[in-house]
Amino acid sequence: MFCAALDVPHNFREHLLRTVGLNIFRVGTLSYACQDNRVLQINDGTGKKKLVILGTGWAGASFLRNIDTSLYDVHVVSPRNYFMFTPLLPSVTCGTVEARSIVEPIRNIVRKNGGAFRFWEAECYKIDPASKKIHCRSGDGTNVDGNGEFAVDYDYLVVTVGARPNTFNTPGVVENCHFLKEVEDAQKIRKSVMKCFEKAALPNLTEEERKKNVHFVVIGGGPTGVEFAAELHDFVNEDLAKLYPDVKKYVNISVIEAGDHILTMFDKRITHFAEDKFKREGIDLKTNFKVVKVSDKTITMSNPATGEIAVPYGLAVWSTGIGTRPIIMDFMKQVGQANRRVLATDEWLRVHGCEDVYALGDCATITQRKVMEDVDAIFRVADKDNSGTLTVKKIKDVLGDIYVRYPQVELYLKTNQMKGFHDLLKDKESEELNIEELKKALAQVDSQVKLLPATAQVAAQEGAYLADCFNRMNICEESPEGPLRIRGAGRHRFKPFRYRHLGQFAPLGGEQTAAQLPGDWIHVGHSTQWLWYSVYASKQFSWRTRMLVVSDWGRRFIFGRDSSSL
Amino acid sequence: MFCAALDVPHNFREHLLRTVGLNIFRVGTLSYACQDNRVLQINDGTGKKKLVILGTGWAGASFLRNIDTSLYDVHVVSPRNYFMFTPLLPSVTCGTVEARSIVEPIRNIVRKNGGAFRFWEAECYKIDPASKKIHCRSGDGTNVDGNGEFAVDYDYLVVTVGARPNTFNTPGVVENCHFLKEVEDAQKIRKSVMKCFEKAALPNLTEEERKKNVHFVVIGGGPTGVEFAAELHDFVNEDLAKLYPDVKKYVNISVIEAGDHILTMFDKRITHFAEDKFKREGIDLKTNFKVVKVSDKTITMSNPATGEIAVPYGLAVWSTGIGTRPIIMDFMKQVGQANRRVLATDEWLRVHGCEDVYALGDCATITQRKVMEDVDAIFRVADKDNSGTLTVKKIKDVLGDIYVRYPQVELYLKTNQMKGFHDLLKDKESEELNIEELKKALAQVDSQVKLLPATAQVAAQEGAYLADCFNRMNICEESPEGPLRIRGAGRHRFKPFRYRHLGQFAPLGGEQTAAQLPGDWIHVGHSTQWLWYSVYASKQFSWRTRMLVVSDWGRRFIFGRDSSSL
C-alpha cells in the first residue's frame, strides 16, 4: 500500500514519511508489491488492511457495491473496467437492447458509495497465496505503454474471476463458434447475423449456399442458448423478414442439445411449453444430439439412432455450460484442490487450504460441511455434562446453532414433512439417546446437501454477504453472531452464507416468458414477460442503465431492431 | 436485368419466357451480368432500365431517398448496408452520441419510399464502362459462403463511392494512426481512449510513461480534427476527471496543423475564437508543423524554426483531408482522366469520357464549362441573324440561358456589384458589339469558377438533384427544361446542378459552436450550440435516429458519457 508512488493519497503518504521517518519506497517492477505493508500497519496502527478484489462480474460488482471503502484499502483488478448485466446479454445479440445499456463502469459503482479505491484494468494470471501476492498483466494496446506485468500484495483477497465457456475439448469449437459470455461476444454475434443475411442475399449463390448462410445453430439447450434462439427467431420474423423478403424463406434456426430436453433446470411444464412453442415456430430442436466436431463449413453431431451427421451452417453459438479458468486451475493446485472443477470454499466463502482468500461466484462453490462428519463433535457439544447421553432438552439447547451450521438438517425435516428434530428419532418416546442413536437419526440428513447453481443470483448474494461480513469484521470479532463452533471453541464470527432463491425466468420469444418462482409458482405467457421487464429493469445497477434499457425496449416496440451490419 | 435468376420478379420472368419464347438465361459467373438486357427491352418495350448505385454515403443515400423506384430497376452495391450521418461522427468517439444512433439501414430508407430495390453488401473493385458492367467482391465472413466475386451490368451507373483518408504517403500513418471516416473508426477511437486512461492508471509506470499514454494527438486542424479535440477535451474534463483523478494531471491534447491556422475554411473570426479557446483550455496547438513520420511510440514533425522533433504519444487521430479510392483511380485511367484527384463530371454530374455514368459526392467534382472556351459559340447562338454583331436586345434574349449554363457570369456581376450584363461592356453607350468586344467583356468572368467543397451538404444536394433528373427523365426528354445548348441544337433536358450553400458549423466543445451562415452571418457561443442541436436533429434521415440522437444528448446531460472500455 505504501510502496507505489501513485497508490497512496499524497497527504497521507507525506504524513507517514514525516512521522515514521522511513523511506520505504522502493521503485521497480516487482518491488512495487511490497512486503513492508503489514510491518508498517503494525507500526502505525491506523493503516487499513489491503483488500484486493479480482473480477468485476456479478460477485465482484455486488461486493464492491456493498463494501465500506473507508474501512479497507480497496484494490480491484479486472480485464474489464465495467460490470455487465448478464441476463440481458442474449438481448444484445439481436439489438433488442444495446450493448452499452447493460454495462456500468466499476469506477461509477464504487464512486457512488463515496469510496476511494483503485482499479487496474489487467488480468491476474497467478495467485500466490504463500507470499500473499497476485501477479497481473495488462492487455495489449496500440501505442500505449504498460503492457508489462506487475504484482500486487494483499491482506485479503476476494476471487471472483468467474468461468469460461466449456467446449468439452470438442475440435473446432474455439475456431468456428461464437460464445455468449462477454459483451464483445454478443456484439460479434449481432454483426455476424447481419453478415449472414447480407451474404445470403448476394446474387452469385446457389440455393444450398443461401440456405447454409442463414442456418443458425445453437449448441446447448440451457437458458442462454434457448433465449438466443428465441431472440433470433423474433428478430428474423419481426424485423428482417420485411427487409430481406427473398432471404426469409431460407432461414433455419436449430438448437442442438445432448440431453433429452431443453431447459432441464426448469419445471417440466416449462420445458414442454418451450419445446412445443419452438416446434410450432419452426425452430429445429435436435435433442439427444452430441456435437463431436465443428469445421468452418459444417457441424458434425452424433445420435445413437442416426450415427454421425454433418450439417452446413452459417453461424454457430456454443452455449453448453462453463469451464474452469486457467488461473483457478493453477490456484487449486497450489492449495491442494487439484482436479476439481471449481474452487472449494467453506460456508463463509473462505477458500480451503489457504489463508485470507475468499472465492465466490462461478469460480467457486461452497462445500457444505456434512453432519455425519461432525456427528461426534456435535454430540460432544450438545452433551454439556459429558454424561454420554443426550436428552431432548440438551439437543434443543444447541438445535438453533445446528440448523444454522448445517442447513441440510432443517431442509431434510421440511422435505420429509417433519415438524421438528424430535420426528427424526425412531423411538420418539425415548427420553435419552446415545451417540449411535444420534447417528442413526441423522444418517439421511446429508442427502439434502446440494451445490448452488452457477447463476448471477447466487453470485450477487454471495458478494453482498461477503461485503457485509467485511464491513462488520471488527464488530463481529468482539461479539460473534455466528453459530457455535462444533469442532472448536466459542462461536463463529459470522453466520454462514445462506442462498435465498428468488425464482428464475426463461424468455421464450414472442413476448412470452416462463417464470418459476419459489413456492412452485409457474407461469408462462405475456403477463410474465411484463414481470420479466419490471424485474430486470429494477435489478439494474444504476439509474443510467435502467433508463437506457427501458428506452431500448421502447425504441424496439416503436421502430423495431436495427439491422445495420455494425 | 433478365439474366440473373434472382434479379427478376418470378412472374414477370415467366411471362417473358412464354411470350418471347426465348431462353436467354445463361447461368455462370460472368454471364450473370448479361448483355441481352437492352435487346430485351427493345423487344419488350415495358422493361425498366437497370440503375446501379455504388455507395451508401451522403450522395448515394440522398439519391436513393429521392429516386422513384417504380421507374427503374434499382440495384445498390456498397460495403456498408447502412447510411451514416457523418457530422455526428466525432461525437461518437467520446460517446456523446452512440454509434447506432447515427446509422440507418439503406433497406429501411428505400422501403419507406415503398420501392422495390436490391441491395448487395459488397465492394465494387472495378468499373468497366466499355461493356457497362461493374465487378464486385463481397467481404469475408466466418463460416459464410459468398466471398466470391460477381459482376453486375447496368444501363445507368451512379458512382458515389466517396473518398479515403489521405496520408500523403507519410510513413507509419496507416499502421499507427486512427482515422475518423467510418463508424468503426469512431468506435475504435472510443475504446482506445479508454485503454489509454486505463493504461495510464496502472501501478508499474514511470511519470513519462503515464504522460505518454494520455497524450492525444490530432493531426489536421480541419473541422473533423478540431471537433474531435474539443469532444475529447470535454470528455476528459466533464467525465473522466472524476473517475481518474490521478490520471487527469497527465492528460495532454495536441492539434498539429501544417498551415498557419486551424479551421481555415471558416471566417477568420471563427478561426481566432477557436484558437484562443483551445489555448485557454490547454489544448496544445502546433501550427506550421508538418508530420513526417509516425512510429508506434512517437510522432515526428518538422517546422522551419525547430527542425524535426519527435513526441511520444498514446493515441493519434489522422484527419488531414481526403484521397482517391483505388477504384476511382482505375476508372479515371479508363475514361481518359488519369492523374486527376477526383472524377471530373459535367454540370449534369455525367462523368466525362463515358456514357451513362454519373458521379457525385466526394469522389467527383463538377468541371464548370468556361465562358471563354465557348465564347464563339455563345456569339453564334446570340447572333441569330448572323449579322456578325450583337445588339443588347439580342444578348438579352439568351441571357437567361447563359446565366443558367454559366453561373459564373451572374456570380461575377454580383461580386463586382454590377446590376446587369450591360455593366460588363466598357463602352456602355455602344449599341452593337462584335466578337472581340464580347470576349473583352467576358474575359474576367471565368475567374469566378470555383470547385465545390467535399462536404456532406454538396453530396446530399447532388444526390437529390440527380434523383429528380432520373425521375423526370421521360418528361424532360419531351419537353426539356434546361438552358439552350450553346454548342449543339435545342435545349438541355435538365437544368445543370446548382449548389445552395446553407452554412456550416464548427462545434468547439464546452457547449459552444461556431456557425457561419449565408450572408456573412457569424456567431459563436452557447446559443449556436442549440441551433446546432436543432439543425442536426432535424437533418436526421429517420424518426428513429432522430429520437436516438436526441435521447443520447439527453442522457449525456443527465448521466455524462459512458467510460466502459467497450
ipTM for this prediction: 0.86
**Which residue has 468541371 as its cell numbers?**
B367
B468 and B331 belong to one structural domain: yes
B310 has which bridge partners?
B300
Please list every residue in chain B whose beta carbon sits closer than 8 Å to the beta carbon of residue A110: none
Report the pLDDT averaged over residues B366-377: 92
Chain B touched by A173 (CB under 8 Å): no
Check if the beta carbon of residue B354 is closer than 8 Å to that of residue B156: no
- Predicted local distance difference test score (pLDDT) of residue A147: 60
C-alpha cell at B502: 446553407
CB atoms within 10 A of CB A352: 16
Chain B touched by A42 (CB under 8 Å): no
B9 domain-assigned: no
B53 has which bridge partners?
B76, B158
Nearest CB to A564 within list B95, B100, B566: B100
What is the per-residue pLDDT across A31-80, written as a single tens digit (0 to 9) for each?
A: 333 333 322 233 334 479 999 999 999 999 999 999 999 999 999 999 99
A358 and A233 belong to one structural domain: no
Q: Which of A111, A135, A143 to mutate to test the interface with B (most CBs of B within 10 A)?
A: A143
Q: Could you tell me the residue range of the domain that residue A72 belongs to? A: 39-163+324-367+451-500
Residue-by-residue DSSP string for B45-84: S-PPEEEEEE--SHHHHHHHHHS-TTTEEEEEEES-SEEE
Nearest CB to A145 within list B7, B213, B547: B213
CB atoms within 10 A of CB A8: 17
Please list every residue in chain A whose beta carbon sits closer than 8 Å to the beta carbon of residue B200: 146
Last-in-domain residue among B500, B517, B539: B500
Q: Would you state the torsion angle of the CA atoms of residues A111, A112, A115, A116, taken in this order, to the nearest 10 degrees? A: 10
A549 domain-assigned: no
B272 and B315 belong to one structural domain: yes
Q: Give the contacts of A206 (CB within 8 A, at least 6 positions apart).
A: none
Share of chain B above pLDDT 90, in %: 72
- Predicted local distance difference test score (pLDDT) of residue A167: 94
What is the per-residue pLDDT across B316-336, written as a single tens digit (0 to 9) for each?
A: 999 999 999 999 999 999 999
Mean pLDDT for all residues in chain A:
87
Q: Give the contacts of A329 (CB within 8 A, at least 6 positions apart).
A: none
Nearest CB to B146 within list A103, A146, A209: A209
What part of A 264-323 touches B (C-beta under 8 Å)? 296-297, 313-316
Q: Do A204 and B29 touch (CB under 8 A)?
A: yes
Nearest CB to B144 within list A119, A138, A213: A213
- Phi, psi (degrees; rounded to nearest 5) at B405: -75, -35
The Cα–Cα gap between B316 and B196 comes to: 11
B356 and B286 belong to one structural domain: no
pTM of the predicted structure, to 2 decimals: 0.88
H helix runs in A21-115, sequence order: 36-44, 58-66, 89-92, 106-112
A2 domain-assigned: no
Q: How many domains does chain B have?
A: 3
Q: Do B212 and A145 touch (CB under 8 A)?
A: yes
What is the per-residue pLDDT across B75-132, written as a single tens digit (0 to 9) for each?
A: 999 999 999 999 999 999 999 999 999 999 999 988 877 667 899 999 999 999 999 9
A134 domain-assigned: yes
The Cα–Cα gap between A269 and A378 comes to: 42
Q: Which of B217, B235, B564 to mutate to test the interface with A (most CBs of A within 10 A)?
A: B564
* Strands A252-257 vs B284-287: parallel, antiparallel or unpaired: unpaired
**CATH number, domain with residue B303:** 3.50.50.100
CA distances from B136 to A155, A203, B51, B491 (A): 62, 11, 16, 37
Residue-by-residue DSSP string for B102-143: GEEEHHHHHHHTT---EEEE-EEEEEETTTTEEEEEPPP-TT
Report the pLDDT averaged over residues B133-145: 74
* Residue pairs spanning A and B at CB distance below 8 A: 211
What is the per-residue pLDDT across A17-35, written as a single tens digit (0 to 9) for each?
A: 343 333 333 333 223 333 3
C-alpha cell at A551: 428506452
C-alpha cell at B479: 419537353
* Strand, coil or helix: A482: coil
Share of chain A above pLDDT 90, in %: 72
A273 domain-assigned: yes
Nearest CB to A98 within list B32, B100, B243: B100
- Phi, psi (degrees; rounded to nearest 5) at B60: -65, -45
A12 domain-assigned: no
- Predicted local distance difference test score (pLDDT) of residue A438: 87
- Predicted local distance difference test score (pLDDT) of residue B254: 97
Q: How far is A53 from chain B (nearest CA, A)?
A: 15
C-alpha cell at B423: 455593366
B124 and B206 belong to one structural domain: no
Residue type, A157: L
What is the per-residue pLDDT across A166-179, written as a single tens digit (0 to 9) for each?
A: 999 999 999 999 99
Nearest CB to B565 within list A80, A95, A111: A80
Check if the beta carbon of residue A201 is closer than 8 Å to that of residue B119: yes
CB atoms within 10 A of CB A319: 27
A87 and A225 belong to one structural domain: no
Report the pLDDT averaged over residues B411-416: 88
Q: Do B143 and A555 touch (CB under 8 A)?
A: no
Taking CA A242 as the corner, what is the angle to CA B51 and CA A232, rounded to the nearest 5 degrees?
130
Report the pLDDT averaged over residues A383-390: 86
Check if the beta carbon of residue A196 is closer than 8 Å to that of residue A91: no
3-state DSSP helix/strand/coil % of chain B, to nearest 5: 40, 20, 40
A413 and A350 belong to one structural domain: no
**CATH number, domain with residue A398:** 1.10.238
A362 and A225 belong to one structural domain: no
Residue type, B331: F
A506 domain-assigned: no
B363 and B470 belong to one structural domain: yes
Please list every residue in chain B whose beta carbon sits closer than 8 Å to the beta carbon of residue A148: 204
Residue type, A103: V
* Strands A49-54 vs A156-159: parallel, antiparallel or unpaired: parallel
Q: Do A297 and B183 touch (CB under 8 A)?
A: no
Last-in-domain residue among A500, A516, A534: A500
Residue-by-residue DSSP string for B238-285: IIIHHH-HHHHTT-EEEEEESSSSSSTTS-HHHHHHHHHHHHHTT-EE
A229 and A145 belong to one structural domain: no
Q: Chain A residue with minimal CA distance to B98?
A: A100
What is the per-residue pLDDT across A317-371, written as a single tens digit (0 to 9) for each?
A: 999 999 999 999 999 999 999 989 999 999 999 999 999 999 999 999 999 999 9
- Predicted local distance difference test score (pLDDT) of residue A427: 63
Q: Which of A1, A96, A204 to mutate to test the interface with B (most CBs of B within 10 A)?
A: A204
B489 and B427 belong to one structural domain: no
Q: Do B145 and A99 touch (CB under 8 A)?
A: no
- Phi, psi (degrees; rounded to nearest 5) at B30: -100, -25
The Cα–Cα gap between A89 and A180 comes to: 8
The Cα–Cα gap between A397 and A401 comes to: 9
B199 and B296 belong to one structural domain: yes
Residue type, A130: A
Chain B touched by A204 (CB under 8 Å): yes
Confidence of residue A430 (pLDDT cuts 50, 70, 90): low
What is the per-residue pLDDT across B220-233, written as a single tens digit (0 to 9) for each?
A: 999 999 999 999 99
A128 domain-assigned: yes
Q: Do A204 and B108 touch (CB under 8 A)?
A: no
Q: Chain A residue with minimal CA distance to B196?
A: A144
Report the pLDDT averaged over residues A222-228: 95
The Cα–Cα gap between A542 and A111 comes to: 12
Check if the beta carbon of residue B347 is closer than 8 Å to that of residue B497: yes
Please list every residue in chain A whose beta carbon sits closer than 8 Å to the beta carbon of residue B108: 243, 563
Check if the beta carbon of residue B53 is closer than 8 Å to that of residue B158: yes
C-alpha cell at A522: 409457474
CA distances from A116 to A73, A210, A419, B201 (A): 8, 56, 50, 14
CA-wise closest residue to A419 among A439, A389, A399, A404 = A399
Please list every residue in chain B whose beta carbon sits closer than 8 Å to the beta carbon of residue A118: 201
Q: Which of B145, B183, B197, B207 to mutate to test the interface with A (most CBs of A within 10 A)?
A: B145
Burial group, residue A230, by CB count within 10 angstroms (0-12, 13-18, 19+): buried
What is the per-residue pLDDT across B349-363, written as a single tens digit (0 to 9) for each?
A: 999 999 999 999 999
Chain B touched by A557 (CB under 8 Å): no
What is the per-residue pLDDT across B462-484, written as a single tens digit (0 to 9) for each?
A: 999 999 999 999 999 999 999 99
* Strand, coil or helix: A371: coil
